[in-house]
């Protein structure tokens, strides 16, 4: 029986673990992939205070080791089912059922798919969701980036370290990325923009050779020749295991109060998985700390 079970080992879950274990709670983090979550796919982080510029895997390693050093237990596996009402709460991980007196949902989010012909067929053969992982494969080649938010612009800039050109295809006539990223992209000679356009098809056999795009204003179409397509059109929450739960909003994000509590007593949420105006490492970590301390208070009152 754990005092606190945390689902997800990204910055939210790792920080919740740190605070939970330091409050002497018997704490476990359950993670289906690598510690660090989305940070593992980020080459350079320059807005997490106190560490200057740091590579995502390095910051992940620090957070992971710090959590382990205070006694957090690490369990590998995918959470497929939960029973969160009442006491104890149960979490199914493979064939194992874990019992805990409180739970923090910190399972984050993952890339949204374009859902156009060619995307699935050419995944790994020119279609990518991770410039950090795959950028080097496109050295001196031409690539397309889809999207207009922070991820598309930041990763587009990153890709210029390798590629000949980046064409950012965006369905509006302006970007929503942070101004500092926009400035850098507009000043980068390797980056071109195609506005008001959507990707209708990704072409190529056996590898990507181009994308068919349609201008949403005049309905004209054209094929942009390219060797790679990097898709950065946002994320969706990892909450399949909570399907149908009343704590989810219409998009599948967990609804929380400012103290990270949900409508179910003893159940908290932190980070990208919850309804929040900011999805960043620093906010995920802050959420995790609040959630763990609220779990501690909940457990004190339970006794």
If you count them, how many residues does the chain have?
303
Check residue 255 and report its DSSP letter: P
Which position among 3, 134, 142, 272 bears the catalytic label? 134
Number of residues that bind ligand FAD (CB under 6 A): 37
Q: Which of residues 59-78 bind ligand FAD (CB under 6 A)?
A: 78
The contacts of residue 263 (CB under 8 Å, 6+ apart) are 246, 247, 255
With binding defined as CB under 6 A, does residue 156 bind ligand FAD?
no
With binding defined as CB under 6 A, does residue 149 bind ligand NAP?
yes
**With respect to ligand FAD, which residue has the nearer C-beta, 12 or 210?**
12
Partner in contact with 122, chosen from ligand NAP, ligand FAD, none, beta carbon below 5 to 8 Å by kind: none
| Tokens matching residue 256 | 């929380």
Stretch that binds ligand FAD, among 41-49, 94-102, 163-171, 183-191 (CB under 6 A): 41-49
With binding defined as CB under 6 A, does residue 236 bind ligand NAP?
no
Residue from 110, 106, 157, 135 nearest 228 by CA: 135
Kindly state the smallest distance separating residue 303's Cβ from ligand FAD, in Å: 28
Alpha-carbon separation of residue 123 from 48, 198, 203 (angstroms): 31, 18, 12
With binding defined as CB under 6 A, does residue 117 bind ligand NAP?
no
Kindly state the smallest distance separating residue 260's Cβ from ligand FAD, in Å: 12
Q: Which of residues 185-204 bind ligand FAD (CB under 6 A)?
A: none
Partner in contact with 152, chosen from ligand NAP, ligand FAD, none, beta carbon below 5 to 8 Å by kind: ligand NAP
Q: Which of residues 108-137 bind ligand FAD (CB under 6 A)?
A: 108-109
- Is residue 130 part of the annotated active site? The answer reads yes
Q: CA 259, 264, 268, 269 torsion: positive or negative?
A: negative
Residue 124 buriedness (CB in 10 A; 0-12 / 13-18 / 19+): exposed
Kindly state the smallest distance separating residue 254's Cβ from ligand NAP, in Å: 16
Q: CA 44, 48, 52, 54 torsion: positive or negative?
A: negative
**With respect to ligand FAD, which residue has the nearer C-beta, 58 or 78?**
78
- Find the binder of ligand FAD among 4, 5, 6, 10 (CB under 6 A): 10
Stretch that binds ligand NAP, among 23-31, 60-68, 151-159, 252-260 (CB under 6 A): 151-159
Stretch that binds ligand FAD, among 30-38, 115-123, 140-148, 261-269 (CB under 6 A): 30-38
| Tokens matching residue 239 | 């909450």
DSSP 189-251: TTEEEE-SEEEEEEE-SSS--EEEEEETTT--EEEEE-SEEEE---EEE--GGGTT-TTB-TT
- Is residue 219 part of the annotated active site? The answer reads no
Tell me whether the omega of the peptide bond preceding residue 74 falls within 30 degrees of 0, making it cis.
no
Q: How far apart are CA 149 and CA 157, in angstroms?
A: 12
Residue from 40, 205, 227 nearest 126 by CA: 227
- Find the binder of ligand FAD among 19, 21, 27, 38 (CB under 6 A): 38
The catalytic residues are: 130, 133-134
Per CB under 6 A, residues contacting ligand FAD are 7-13, 30-33, 37-39, 41-42, 45, 47-48, 78-79, 106-109, 151, 155, 238, 241, 271-273, 279-282, 284
Per CB under 6 A, residues contacting ligand NAP are 47, 114, 146-152, 154, 171-172, 176, 198, 232-235, 279-280
């Amino acid at each position: 029986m754990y005092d606190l079970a945390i689902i997800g080992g990204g910055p939210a879950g790792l920080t919740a673990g740190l605070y939970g274990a330091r409050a002497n709670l018997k704490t476990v983090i359950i993670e289906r992939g690598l510690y660090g979550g989305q940070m593992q796919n980020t080459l350079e982080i320059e807005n997490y205070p106190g560490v200057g510029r740091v590579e995502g895997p390095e910051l992940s390693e620090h957070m992971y080791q710090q959590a382990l050093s205070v006694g957090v237990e690490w369990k590998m596996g995918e959470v497929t089912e939960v029973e969160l009402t009442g006491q104890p709460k149960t979490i199914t991980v493979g064939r194992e059922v874990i019992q805990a007196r409180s739970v923090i949902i910190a399972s984050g989010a993952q890339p949204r798919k374009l859902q156009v012909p060619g995307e699935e067929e050419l995944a790994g053969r020119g279609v990518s969701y991770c410039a950090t992982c795959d950028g080097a494969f496109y050295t001196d080649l031409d690539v397309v980036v889809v999207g207009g938010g922070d991820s598309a612009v930041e990763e587009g800039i990153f890709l210029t370290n390798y590629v000949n050109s980046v064409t950012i295809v965006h369905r509006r006539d302006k970007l929503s990325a942070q101004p500092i990223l926009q400035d850098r992209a507009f000043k980068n000679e390797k980056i071109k923009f195609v506005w008001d356009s959507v990707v209708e098809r990704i072409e190529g056999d056996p590898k990507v050779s181009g994308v068919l795009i349609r201008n949403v204003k005049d309905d004209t179409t054209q094929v942009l020749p390219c060797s790679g397509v990097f898709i950065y059109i946002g994320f969706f929450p990892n909450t399949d295991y909570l399907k149908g739960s009343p704590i989810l909003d219409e998009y599948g994000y967990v609804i929380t109060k400012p103290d990270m509590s949900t409508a179910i007593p003893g159940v908290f949420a932190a980070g990208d998985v919850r309804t929040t105006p900011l999805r960043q490492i620093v906010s995920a970590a802050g959420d995790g700390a609040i959630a763990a301390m609220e779990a501690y208070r909940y457990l004190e009152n339970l006794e």
